[in-house]
Amino acid sequence: MATPTGKAATLNPQASKRVLPRDASSEVPGKRKNPNPTSTLPRPSGPFVEGSIVRIAMENFLTYDICEVSPGPHLNMIIGANGTGKSSIVCAICLGLAGKPAFMGRADKVGFFVKRGCSKGLVEIELFRTSGNLVITREIDVIKNQSFWFINKKPVTQKIVEEQVAALNIQVGNLCQFLPQDKVGEFAKLSKIELLEATEKSIGPPEMHRYHCELKNFREKEKQLETSCKEKTEYLEKMVQRNERYKQDVERFYERKRHLDLIEMLEAKRPWVEYENVRQEYEGVKLVRDRVKEEVRKLKEGQIPMTRRIEEIERQRRTLETRIKEKATEIKEASQKCKQRQDIIERKDRHIKELQQALTVKQNEEHDRQKRISNTRRMIEDLQNELRTAENCENLQPQIDAITNDLRRVQEEKGLCEGEIIDKQREKEMLEKQKRSVSDHIIRFDNLMNQKEDKLRQRYRDTYDAVLWLRNNRDRFKQRVCEPIMLTINMKDNKNAKYVENHISSNDLRAFVFESQEDMEVFLKEVRDNKKLRVNAVIAPKISYADKAPSRSLNELKQYGFFSYLRELFDAPDPVMSYLCCQYHIHEVPVGTERTREKIERVIQETRLKQIYTAEEKYVLKTSFYSNKVISSNTSLKVAQFLTVTVDLEQRRHLEEQLKEINRKLEAVESGLVALRDTNKHLELKDNELRLKKKELLERKTKKRQLEQKISSKLGSIRLMEQDTCNLEEEERKASTKIKEINVQKAKLVTELTGLVKICTSLHIQKVNLILQNTTVISEKNKLEADYMASSSQLRVTEQQFIELDDNRQRLLQKCKELMRRARQVCNLSADQAVPQEFQTQVPTIPNGHSFTPPMAFQDLPNTLDEIDALLTEERSRASCFTGLNPTVVEEYTKREIEIQQLTEELKGKRVELDEYRENISQVKERWLNPLKELVEKINEKFSNFFSSMQCAGEVDLHTENEEDYDKYGIRIRVKFRSSTQLHELTPHHQSGGERSVSTMLYLMALQELNRCPFRVVDEINQGMDPINERRVFEMVVNTACKENTSQYFFITPKLLQNLPYSEKMTVLFVYNGPHMLEPNRWNLKAFQRRRRRITFTQPSQ
């Protein structure tokens, strides 16, 4: 059934997908928003087996928006053109039943299975169960790449879903049950061992694969035990032989050991003898120490009375010193009072002196006043004489007026000149400020230009060297030559640099632009031929394209999110802009935003633009020459590298011209300032001359007036001085009265001072008496302390003697303990261990009060050190006669004897364990191998029958090289498609693709009737078959899959041959795809069938 031809799928991602069942009663829901997408359909009444698929629902999954599929219980044939979404249903089954995304061979992340542009997707599988259908829902989150699982609308974990699926014997990872399109070729690549394992899991009893695994584990353990027993037996025999060789050396070693034991016994007794000698010395020192200790006690008792007397005298001394301190405090207080009275008397004396000095000052002032009056009168007489001789000055006023007029005129000219100087200075400051600002801008432009040139130098060194050469040789060219385009382009906004760099090739970005072919040839000859530099050069069009208008107004494109054409994003010289418009059509390429990306389908269909830019992508559109369809390709934009630095060269040239104009104005202002300063200096000299002349005339005119004013001032001063008179007699009387009052107060203070002095003297006498008493007490204390020191000296000598004796005692005690420790150590006795009675002899006393008895073995040995040393020398000589004996030999001999015994026991246990494993292997092998052989025989019978019906031959057998290597067992498939050849094993290389497909399909069909899995999926396995084999295989699939009591079967294919046999139990599902499909909610299969019947009935009448 054909579908209408539509646009390419890439241009219509909104195109709906629909799966249509053949049965008119099973209508597929349309593309609608289901308020409860997880609701189950009514339970089918057909003969579904436990675990068969009843319903498949998809939402935003791969090519589908919303779709539900209702398969039949037997053979389900899914047919549709390539790319319509057949394999999407297979993916939905796999992922919906907890399959791994990588198994499909499409993507390794589950998020890639969600429809592009959607954030979430959903797959829902309804499985048949007699106790109630099981609905498994998987929601896929694209952003987190996570899945959320539900069983019958209740959230669960993926592990629970896997357990539920496994309980129904569904194995989506088993190629014998689930063979997706991308895994068809891998089935033939399965090894014999892998094929056996897949077959066991698919059709064998549940315990068959478990028995096989147990056999492999048992066999592995059996091999390990056999190897271990063999190694241990060989090792045991070697150790027994080695011990026989060293037996005589061991006997000689033990003979020598008997002499060494006697030496050890003598060396053990020697510390006990040494201990006894030291212990007796210790007892003697202890008696002397106790006697000296008694003497020390008596001397200490004799010092007690002297100590008490010294303490009593010390208390008296402290009491006297306390009283002396109290008297000293009282004397200090009396002295302070005396000093206070003396200070007051001294202040009274100073007051009297001040009164006398004040009277003297007034007397001197009166004398000076009389003297000043006399001097002032003489000065008045002199001034009157000078006034009489002064000349008449009335004829000087006209000269003063003329000079005043000249001075006013000069000052006005000077003010104007100074104003002009201030204006010029302000203008100069403003120009200098402008100059600094312009210079700073030029420096910033140079820094930015240097950044662009540095990037050019680092990336294209030859182009950079050519730029330097061009700047030094511009006079050799007749017309304008532009530096590389990347240096001349100036972006208006750095964020838009990525569009320009992605649009213009890197070769043109570093190309020089010429207006003349002759100039370009001169440049290339010099740079390429002579300097061997690799550079690019282009010629701008003769007719300028720089101002060419775009074919569509930008206002028309703003509705799609476009904000500018490429040309408006940057500035460039006219030749560069003309070349880019001509070559790259930058005036026709719009730039959009993220909103453009969201509306990209409308933009492509409605605008018919050839190139467009969105926020992060570039789209190139072409029209197919054959189908007239628009084909689009998009690429992500690369990050801008060169044009992110913006340098406006026109603005820099404007700034340089502005700087020259400012410098010219500064020179003019500076020359004007020099002329104004010279004029101002001349006016200042003239002003000073006029002021001097006016000052002389004014002084001559005002001299008489000044003399009169001075005479009047002096007369006023005389009157003031005569008024300021002083009565000296009255002042002397007041001073005498105050002095008498002060003398009376002073006499009273002297009387108080005398009384305080007497008190202070009495306190000093009392203090002296206390000091004498204290001296007597101290003298008596010193005498007692001298006697005490003499007694203490004798006590110290005795105590020192006691300490020395005690140290000696402690040393001997420690030595006794050390000797005791050594003796016990030699006898291998612990500190608290008692020696058994049968090994005891004499009982020495240990210094700590305990008793210890050495071993009785000592009783037959000498009791003196000399005898012990002599016997030691003799035994050592005898022991030295046994040479060439190695103690390690005896140790190894003993160790091997122990190890031989241990190995014997261990080997016995290993052999018992090995027998048990062999018994287990025999039992499990019988339970596994016999049913497996029967199963393989059944598969072989059906497989051979299928091949015979196709006039070919094929067989399946259980293959192994060694019957005991259970991990090497496998199923071998051998086929032949031509009578002239022999049976060959099915491999990925020997047979053709079609032969492998036929073999795979027939093997799966041989498993179909034996299968205990609820359904099987095979995707496009007939692609490589020739028509004859495809027809035969199809007939077998229909006959086998449509039998009673067989499991559900999904057969996916993009095409079918004509006149194929079909069965009433088949369910055919057609997948349609195209832009002219009806909306899903408008599709009605029954109405479609009624219209088709009406058309059929009306055709004969026409």
pLDDT attached to residue 7: 29
pLDDT attached to residue 1010: 66
pLDDT attached to residue 22: 39
Question: Does the pLDDT at position 224 exceed 60?
Answer: yes
Return d(Cα 634, Cα 614) in angstroms, integer.
10
pLDDT attached to residue 484: 93
pLDDT attached to residue 858: 66
For 69-126, the pLDDT digits (tens) are 889 888 888 888 877 888 888 888 888 888 888 777 667 788 888 888 888 899 999 9
The C-alpha angle 789, 794, 796, rounded to 5 degrees, equals 85
Helix (DSSP H) and strand (DSSP E) numbers for the chain: 24, 25
Return d(Cα 220, Cα 216) in angstroms, integer.
6
pLDDT attached to residue 1005: 66
Most confidently predicted of 92-106, 189-203, 382-396: 92-106
pLDDT attached to residue 953: 81
Q: Where are the alpha helices (DSSP H) in 246-303?
A: 247-302
DSSP track, 758-802: HHHHHHHHHHHHHHHHHHHHHHHHHHHHHHHHHHHHHHHHHHHHH
| Least confident residue range of 376-380, 582-586, 632-636 | 376-380
Q: Using DSSP bridges, classify how beta strands 953-959 and 64-69 pair: parallel, antiparallel or unpaired.
A: unpaired
Sorting pLDDT into bands at 50, 70 and 90, what band is 614? very high
For 137-165, the pLDDT digits (tens) are 999 988 888 889 999 888 999 888 888 88
Tokens representing residue 407 in the block: 């001075």
Tokens 């009056």, residue located: 373
pLDDT attached to residue 447: 63
Q: Which is more confident, 443 or 684?
A: 684
Return d(Cα 236, Cα 901) in angstroms, integer.
9
Question: Does the pLDDT at position 1017 exceed 60?
Answer: yes
For 685-702, the pLDDT digits (tens) are 888 888 887 777 777 667
Residues sharing a CB contact under 8 Å with residue 170, sequence separation 6 or more, in sequence order = 51, 97, 127, 177, 1013, 1014, 1015
Question: Does the pLDDT at position 590 exceed 90?
Answer: yes
Question: Does the pLDDT at position 466 exceed 70?
Answer: yes
pTM above 0.85, yes or no: no
Sorting pLDDT into bands at 50, 70 and 90, what band is 512? very high
pLDDT attached to residue 720: 78
| Least confident residue range of 618-622, 987-991, 1091-1095 | 987-991
DSSP track, 525-541: IIIIIIT----EEEE--
Sorting pLDDT into bands at 50, 70 and 90, what band is 41? very low
Question: Does the pLDDT at position 179 exceed 80?
Answer: no
Residue 69 burial (10 A CB sphere; 0-12, 13-18, 19+): buried
Quote the crossing angle between the two packed helices 887-949 and 247-302, to the nearest 10°. Answer: 120
Q: Which is more confident, 36 or 990?
A: 990
Residues sharing a CB contact under 8 Å with residue 946, sequence separation 6 or more, in sequence order = 954, 1002, 1005, 1006, 1036
Sorting pLDDT into bands at 50, 70 and 90, what band is 1024? low
Return d(Cα 192, Cα 199) in angstroms, integer.
10
pLDDT attached to residue 10: 29
Residues 233-243: what's their mean pLDDT? 80
Burial 750-776 (b: 16+ CB within 10 A, else e): eeebeebeeebeebeeebeebeeebee
Tokens representing residue 862 in the block: 């000498």
Q: Which is more confident, 1100 or 201?
A: 201
For 834-860, the pLDDT digits (tens) are 654 434 444 344 444 444 444 445 667
Question: Does the pLDDT at position 257 exceed 70?
Answer: yes
Question: Does the pLDDT at position 1082 exceed 90?
Answer: no
Closest by Cα among 809, 810, 839 to 824: 839
pLDDT > 90 in the chain, percent: 9
Distance set, CA 486 to CA 482, 628, 954 (Å): 11, 38, 72
Could you tell me how far CA 635 lies from the centroid of its own chain? Answer: 32
CB atoms closer than 10 angstroms to residue 105: 14
Residues 172-193: what's their mean pLDDT? 65
Residues 950-962: what's their mean pLDDT? 78
Sorting pLDDT into bands at 50, 70 and 90, what band is 176? low
Closest by Cα among 46, 21, 19 to 30: 19
Q: What is the torsional sign of CA 266, 271, 272, 273?
A: positive
Q: Which is more confident, 473 or 1089?
A: 473
Return the H-helix or E-strand segment holding 387: helix 304-389
pLDDT attached to residue 32: 34
Residue-averaged pLDDT of the chain: 78
Please check whether residue 862 is in contact with residue 841, taking contact to mean a CB–CB distance below 8 angstroms. Answer: no
pLDDT attached to residue 465: 92
Return d(Cα 76, Cα 304) in angstroms, integer.
125
Q: Which is more confident, 43 or 308?
A: 308
Question: Does the pLDDT at position 482 exceed 90?
Answer: yes
| Least confident residue range of 29-38, 693-702, 1023-1032 | 29-38
Sorting pLDDT into bands at 50, 70 and 90, what band is 784? confident
Q: What is the torsional sign of CA 972, 977, 982, 987?
A: negative
For 532-562, the pLDDT digits (tens) are 999 999 999 988 888 888 988 888 888 888 9
pLDDT attached to residue 719: 76
Return d(Cα 22, Cα 989) in angstroms, integer.
39
Please check whether residue 489 is in contact with residue 628, taking contact to mean a CB–CB distance below 8 angstroms. Answer: no
CB atoms closer than 10 angstroms to residue 202: 22
Phi, psi angles (nearest 5°) of residue 5? -75, 135
